[in-house]
Amino acid sequence: MGVLIAAGLSVSLLTGCNDGDEQVPEESPSVSAETSSAGLRGGTFNARLPSGASVRITLPATPPPDEDVDKLRKDAGVERALYAKISIDNRNGRQPVSVSRLVLTAEDGSIYRLDALPKVAPEWTSERGDNGEWTNAGGDRVSEEKARDIDRRVDDTVAKYTGDVPVGGRGDEILVGDLSRLPATFASMELIPSMGDSEERAVRPSPDSRNEPAAPRPASPADPAEPEAPEEDPPPGDPGDETTEEEPPADGGGSESTTDPVPEEPTDAPAPPQEPVPSEPGTQPTTAPEAGASVPPVAPSVPAQAVGEQQPVQP
């Protein structure tokens, strides 16, 4: 919040201290990164400054844009640094310009800041303790000769990268952040240019079209792995894949039923033999008809003896 307030105050001062030639600030042609639902990733970005200069940002700059600067950082005992390279084209600008800092806002609200190298490098100087021993910026003990060599190289670096890019010219500047790496994605980026010791209005660079797009939204567990073709309903009257239960044949064949069968009376089995039935004298003994044979009508029995004959006694 303090950074934003300071930037707002700087803009107010610049507006009030205009030299009479009223300057209409130009809107940056970039699209606000906050409108991107997928977020931003590291890569290259472009922006136009209010003074008319155009800039190209490489973030992160790997390998380091100046190997001597990175070697100086390591000798100074500074463990980590993230570089951004700012290429300024001021051929269409109206005044000298440089870059003060770059501010990134992560999607969780965290702030990441990279400052101009002339502002960061003085923090890499060595120190001499009360006991006369020298330590570098990382706290490691070094010889006096080594310490003085580091301090000299720091002064040379600050002198090399201090100053604005003149109107009609081009130049490269380096920003340094106390970071080991960028967040995977971030919501917005703001570049704060400067003129001498004063800062200009912040601009929001737009990502280059060649940048790697942000990762897509992870698939929800409810989402299918692959879309499946919808199943078509069978037309009316068409049983489709449904199986109909077939009626068993009359002779009891077919598949077995899952329920206990009901015993049936055999129809084709022969009837058991029966004992002859005694009949009246003069008639044939009666036997049970075979199964399936027609039974002839039984004629009335007529006594065979003549009138006056005595009927035999049955045993």
Q: What is the pLDDT of residues 103-144, one digit of tens each?
A: 999 988 999 999 999 999 999 999 999 899 999 999 999 999
Mean per-residue pLDDT of the chain: 72
And the tokens for 56? 């190209």
- Cα–Cα nearest to 165, from 156, 155, 173, 175: 173
Residue 242: band (very low, low, confident or very high) from pLDDT cuts 50, 70, 90 = very low
- Kindly report which listed range (60-74, 188-202, 240-254) carries the lowest average pLDDT score: 240-254
| b/e per residue 75-105 (b: at least 16 CB within 10 A) | bbbbeebbbbbbbbebeebebbbbbbbbbbb
CATH of 25-120+165-207 among 1.20.120, 2.10.260, 2.60.120, 2.60.40? 2.60.40
* pLDDT at residue 30, as a whole number: 36
* pLDDT at residue 17, as a whole number: 38
Burial tier of 259 (Cβ tally within 10 Å: 0-12, 13-18, 19+): exposed
pTM for this structure?
A: 0.57
294 vs 82, residue with greater confidence: 82
Pair 26, 4: CB distance under 8 Å: no
Nearest 5°: phi and psi at 150?
Answer: -65, -45
Give Cβ neighbours of residue 305 (< 8 Å, ≥ 6 apart): 281, 311
Neighbours of 178 (CB within 10 A): 15
Strand ordering across the sheet containing 54-59:
198-199, 186-195, 98-106, 111-116, 170-177, 82-89, 54-59, 43-48, 206-207
First to last CA, the chain: 138
Query: pLDDT for 47-58, tens place per residue?
Result: 999 999 999 999
And the tokens for 183? 């967040």
Instruction: Name 45's bridge partners.
Output: 57, 207
* pLDDT at residue 39, as a whole number: 82
DSSP 122: G
* pLDDT at residue 270, as a whole number: 53
Percent of all residues in the chain with a pLDDT value above 90, rounded to a whole number: 47
* pLDDT at residue 232, as a whole number: 55
* pLDDT at residue 213, as a whole number: 55
- The helix (H) or strand (E) run that includes residue 160 is helix 144-161
- The answer, yes or no, to whether residue 45 has pLDDT greater than 70, is yes
* pLDDT at residue 33, as a whole number: 34
List % helix, strand, coil for the chain (3-state, nearest 5): 15, 20, 60
Query: pLDDT for 173-184, tens place per residue?
Result: 999 999 999 888
And the tokens for 260? 């206990």
Pair 96, 165: CB distance under 8 Å: yes
- The helix (H) or strand (E) run that includes residue 198 is strand 198-199
Percent of all residues in the chain with a pLDDT value above 70, rounded to a whole number: 54
Strand ordering across the sheet containing 134-135:
127-128, 134-135, 141-142
